[in-house]
Amino acid sequence: MSSTDRAAAEADRRARRLDERLGDPGDDTSETGRRALLLADERAEPPAAAEAVLDAEGFGAELVPVALGGRLERADTLVRVLRPVFRRDVGLGLGHGITSLFAASPVFAAGTARQRAEVAALLCGGGRAAIVHRSLAHGTALLRGELTAVRGGSGGMVLGGRKDVVLNAERAGAVVAYTRTDAGHGSRSAPGSGPGPGSHSVLLLHPDALPPGGMRVLPRRVTRGLRGCRFAGYEFTDCAVPDDTVVGGPGDGVRLALRTFQLSRSVLTGAVLASVDTVLRAAVRAAGAGRPGGPGRRHRAVLAGVFADLLAGDSMATAVLRGLSLLPDSAHLAAAELKYLVPDLLRDDLEELATVLGATGYEESGAQGMLAKLRRDLPAAGLGHAGTASCQAVVLPQLPSLARTRWLRQPPPPDALFRSGAPLPRLDLTALGVVGGGDFLIAALADVVARLDGTRDVDPVLRAYARAFADDLADLRERCRRLDPADRAGLASPAVCALGDRHALLSAAGALLGVWTRHRNDAAFLADPAWAALALHRLGRRLGLPLPAPPADHVRRVADEVLRRFGEGRTFDLQDTPVTGAVSR
């Protein structure tokens, strides 16, 4: 077994241990169960017992590269460890978990040996790092406000400005701040795309080492979503910092953001998928699983459809997370599309599941409370408008070039992109590209459709659906070929945004077809074309494709798999792994 295979198996072992240590979510007497998590959220407090479990498991080491003494080898294996946490509480996963990785990733990518070692030791020792984002005019409170730094009279820089909402501001042992350091390079490359290159630098600050009075921690702010997370703020006044606080070089902030946001976008989205797993499980129970007759036809169709969406979203997440290691020069585009599309799928899925929970009046173990909490938490976690706009800024300017030089010409991606058991290189943040490199999910779509057209023993419904997506890709290609790459205003227009919507949906289709194709000869459920056909149909509705309804037998087979996994206590994702406790019954 290769070292990366061994690392993947070890990550699965840690995920299973963490799931067991966090215990039965349905146990109302447990300090880490759903009831306790909901009560902590109601009190706007972090769930102390659950945080203590993560500390005892040395969770911070999951966020630190192996080369720096941690356990992080690949993004896809990190998400496997995160999912037991996010199945219980998005706020716990963010507040105690991956926000520190988002802060640390520019340091790991471009910091000096000393900077990397300091941050690695902090996280491995159970500390936290906070991130101060640059300001976005269209952003939430988390993204408003900005820090600036100017050259000091005796060397170094003088930092000023205010940021009112920073996760873990009160508890951070290190602060990674995107700071405007050169107002002369602030021109924007396109409307809504953010500052130009050279406008910002990344600073690594240690609060205890700053001069007295230079930084003030602002009072805590309780937000509507993620109520249990500790949001506060920073105010800097004439705060002198030495030049060695800069990460990378002066003016590298935007480039580092474009590089490392690929990791944060894909890891966050891949982890959040697990949160809907919990609501789907509650809806299956509410619909009558385990009782004579089981769920009715209407509820079975809802459960099957949401499950198909989760598999489609996980297919896209898996391809992107693995692409960060396998195709690092191309992952920026797919990571933006993942963060752009999948949160919309999840929000709609929650609305569908609410119809099941609401129709049955189901309230066992706080299922309605968890649904309401998740509806509040997802936008606050950065899965809302600001995230959509930043992802569009990555994708839309590339559409004309992709249509002219890549689509229908690029070779298919390697099989290992879609097979989670295949070995991968270690994640190398320094290798991540920020532009160019191709479009591997669209290449996968074109490749799979060509394979299906040339194969006889393929489900005819799946073949017809896939062909409709290929035809839509051909039309999108022609429309994008006519765009003027130099027309900055035009590339931000509603018409081009609509083309970006289509591209995201086609990318998701390429991912799920890539996964199904690589598993079609397996013995497990992923070989069944029914889930892929149902997932394509649901994506096709969003595209406006005139697809015929999926056969009743396809829906039945997918619904049967939902009930099997529920009855056996297994996850509703590609991994199909055991879960702990009564939540599985």
| Each residue's pLDDT tens digit, 94-142 | 998 899 999 999 999 999 999 999 999 999 999 999 999 876 443 444 4
Q: What does the alpha-carbon distance between residue 188 and residue 570 come to, in Å, rounded to a whole number?
A: 48
What confidence score (pLDDT) does residue 135 get? 61
Q: What does the alpha-carbon distance between residue 359 and residue 353 come to, in Å, rounded to a whole number?
A: 10
| Each residue's pLDDT tens digit, 211-248 | 999 999 999 999 999 999 999 999 999 999 999 999 99
The domain boundary residue, chosen from 214, 249, 284: 249
What confidence score (pLDDT) does residue 197 get? 67
| Each residue's pLDDT tens digit, 149-196 | 999 877 899 999 999 999 999 999 999 999 999 755 444 443 334 455
pTM over 0.85: yes
* CB crowding 502-525: b at 16 or more within 10 Å, else e: bbbbbbbbbbbbbbbbbbbeeeeb
Handedness of CA 118, 124, 128, 131 (dihedral sign): positive
Residue corresponding to tokens 């030791």: 121
Query: 440 and 467 in one domain?
Result: yes
Q: Print the domain residue range for 32.
A: 3-127
Query: 418 and 291 in one domain?
Result: yes
Per-residue pLDDT of the chain (585 residues; tens, 9 = 90+): 344 467 788 999 999 999 999 999 989 899 999 999 999 999 999 999 999 999 999 999 999 999 999 999 999 999 999 999 999 999 999 998 899 999 999 999 999 999 999 999 999 999 999 999 876 443 444 445 689 999 987 789 999 999 999 999 999 999 999 999 975 544 444 333 445 568 899 999 999 999 999 999 999 999 999 999 999 999 999 999 999 999 999 999 999 999 999 999 999 999 999 999 999 999 999 998 767 778 888 999 999 999 999 999 999 999 999 999 999 999 999 999 999 999 999 999 999 999 998 865 545 447 788 899 999 998 888 754 445 777 888 899 999 999 999 999 999 999 999 998 889 999 999 999 988 889 999 999 999 999 998 888 899 999 999 999 999 999 999 999 999 998 888 888 999 999 999 999 999 999 999 999 999 998 899 999 999 999 999 999 999 999 999 999 999 999 999 999 999 999 999 999 999 985 444
Query: 369 and 297 in one domain?
Result: yes
Query: 286 and 232 in one domain?
Result: no
Element (H, E) at 246: strand 246-247
Residues 311, 512 contacting (CB under 8 angstroms): yes
- CATH code, domain carrying 220: 2.40.110.10
Assign residue 95 a region: left if phi > 0, alpha if psi is -120 to 50, beta otherwise? alpha
Query: 220 and 262 in one domain?
Result: no
Question: What percent of the chain stands above pLDDT 90?
Answer: 78
What's the Rg (C-alpha) of the chain? 23
| Each residue's pLDDT tens digit, 350-368 | 999 999 988 655 454 477 8
Query: 237 and 96 in one domain?
Result: no
What confidence score (pLDDT) does residue 193 get? 42
Q: For residue 344, which phi and psi values (nearest 5 degrees)? A: -65, -45
Q: What does the alpha-carbon distance between residue 533 and residue 310 come to, in Å, rounded to a whole number?
A: 14
Query: 431 and 407 in one domain?
Result: yes
Query: 435 and 575 in one domain?
Result: yes
Query: 104 and 175 in one domain?
Result: no
What confidence score (pLDDT) does residue 289 get? 74
The domain boundary residue, chosen from 206, 224, 249: 249
- CATH code, domain carrying 84: 1.10.540
Of 441, 306, 465, 366, the C-alpha closest to 36 is: 366
The domain boundary residue, chosen from 72, 102, 127: 127
Assign residue 382 a region: left if phi > 0, alpha if psi is -120 to 50, beta otherwise? left
What confidence score (pLDDT) does residue 190 get? 39
Query: 345 and 223 in one domain?
Result: no
- The structural domain count of the chain equals 3
Query: 489 and 364 in one domain?
Result: yes
- Entry field: residues in the chain: 585
Q: What does the alpha-carbon distance between residue 323 and residue 265 come to, in Å, rounded to a whole number?
A: 13
Of 269, 389, 372, 252, the C-alpha closest to 324 is: 269
Residues 302, 355 contacting (CB under 8 angstroms): yes
Helix axes 253-286, 552-568, angle to 10 degrees: 90
What confidence score (pLDDT) does residue 360 get? 55
What confidence score (pLDDT) does residue 65 get? 97
Query: 191 and 65 in one domain?
Result: no
In a 3-state reduction of DSSP, which class is residue 552?
Answer: helix
